[in-house]
């Protein structure tokens, strides 16, 4: 698995073997949404990538039954970003930032939780960033 974090807003997740997904998923927001550019990335399909990641996870672990794989798929889907129309994003300026979970503000936190969900170790730089 390869991770690329951009500006604390986008994590690009690349995984192999691909299986039922494309091998690319996003955490935080997608490049299409972030850059307000339809060609910044391919359209996302959260269900497809969650299935692909769950299959990848099951292959790594071995001995995973279908119920466990399906549960992991649902759990992973909650982390994945989907394409949004920037014009429809409601930026509530009255929203209290203190009420938000850190994972909704910093993609590094969401990425660390995502890796923990997969049972993978945190890279040192990511572990350091989430301790701040």
Output the 3-class SS for the chain. CEEEEECCCEEEEECCCCCCCCCEEEEECCHHHHCCCCCCCCCCCHHHHHHHHHHHHHHHHCCCCHHHHHHHHHHHHCCECCCCCHHHCCCCCCCCHHHCCHHHHCHHHHHHHHHHHCCCCCCHHHHHHHHC
Query: pLDDT category, 19, cuts 50, 70, 90?
Result: confident
Q: Which residues contact 78 (CB under 8 A, 6 or more apart)?
A: none
CA distances from 14 to 2, 47, 89, 129 (A): 5, 16, 26, 21
> Does pLDDT of 54 surpass 70?
yes
Q: Tell me what pLDDT residue 22 has.
A: 84
Q: Tell me what pLDDT residue 102 has.
A: 61
CA–CA distance, 107 with 99 (Å, rounded to integer): 17
| Mean pLDDT value across residues 104-122 | 90
Query: How do residues 75-90 score in pLDDT, each as one tens digit?
Result: 999 999 999 987 676 6
């Amino acid at each position: 698995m390869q991770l690329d974090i951009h500006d604390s807003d986008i994590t690009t997740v690349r995984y192999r073997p691909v299986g039922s997904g494309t091998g690319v998923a996003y955490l935080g927001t997608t490049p299409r949404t972030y850059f307000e550019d339809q060609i910044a990335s391919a359209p996302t399909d959260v269900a497809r990538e969650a299935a692909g990641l769950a299959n990848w996870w099951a292959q790594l672990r071995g001995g995973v039954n279908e119920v466990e794989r399906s549960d992991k798929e649902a759990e992973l889907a909650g982390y994945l970003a989907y394409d949004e129309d920037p014009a429809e994003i409601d930026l509530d300026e009255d929203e209290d930032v203190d009420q938000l979970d850190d994972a909704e503000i910093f993609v590094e936190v969401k990425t660390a939780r995502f890796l923990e969900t997969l049972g993978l170790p945190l890279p040192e730089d990511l572990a350091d960033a989430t301790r701040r």
